[in-house]
Structure 1
Amino acid sequence: MVIGVTMVNVSPGSEKSVYMKIKEMKNVRDVYHVFGEFDFVVIIEAPSLAELNKTVDSIRAIEGVTKTQTVVGAEI
């Protein structure tokens, strides 16, 4: 199992639609709306790094997403 934390920036006014789309995605465990440099923190839990990367790519493809940054960890 691979855990990823993806920070997401979105265009002003698109927060709600982006949140709803991310929340419905496969492998997304939690989505938090935050204040500061990023708009959302997304916790992704996937069976492999390749699957996690697919999820991040899907987030990047959402209309309104302008930037992502991901850190990856693995259970030991």
Structure 2
Amino acid sequence: MVIGVTMVNVSPGKEKDVYVVIKGMKNVRDIYHVFGEFDFVVIIQAESLSELNRTVDDIRSVDGVTKTQTVVGAEI
């Protein structure tokens, strides 16, 4: 099991649309709207690093997403 935390920036006015799309994605456990450098924090839970990477790629392809930054951890 691999856990990823992806911070996401979106274009102004696209927050609601991006939230709805990401919330419905496979492997997305939680999404939080935050204030500061990023607009959203997305918690991803996947079976493998490659599956997590595919989910991050899917997030990056969402219309309105301008930047992502991901940190990865594994359960011990």
Taking the aligned partners of 1:74 and 1:35, their CA distance within structure 2 comes to 27
Query: What is the DSSP-based 3-state SS (H/G/I as helix, E as strand, rest coil) of the residue aligned with 1:26?
Result: coil
- CA offset digits 1:51-72 (Å, max 9, x no partner): 0000000000000000000000
- Using the TM superposition, give the Cα deviation of residue 7 of structure 1 relative to its aligned residue in structure 2, in angstroms: 0.0
Taking the aligned partners of 1:21 and 1:53, their CA distance within structure 2 comes to 17
Runs (4 or more) in structure 1 with deviation over 4 Å come to none
Taking the aligned partners of 1:25 and 1:6, their CA distance within structure 2 comes to 13
Partner amino acid, structure 2, of 1:7: M
- In the other structure, the counterpart of 2:38 is 38
TM-score, normalised via structure 1 length: 1.00
- In the other structure, the counterpart of 1:28 is 28
Q: How many equivalent residue pairs? A: 76
- Using the TM superposition, give the Cα deviation of residue 12 of structure 1 relative to its aligned residue in structure 2, in angstroms: 0.0
RMSD of Structure 2 on Structure 1 (CA): 0.1
Query: Does residue 1:18 correspond to 2:18, yes or no?
Result: yes
Task: For structure 1, list consecutive stretches of 5 or more residues without a partner in the other structure.
Answer: none
Q: Between the two proteins, what is the percent identity of the paired residues?
A: 82
Partner amino acid, structure 1, of 2:21: K
TM-score, normalised via structure 2 length: 1.00
Query: What is the DSSP-based 3-state SS (H/G/I as helix, E as strand, rest coil) of the residue aligned with 1:35?
Result: coil
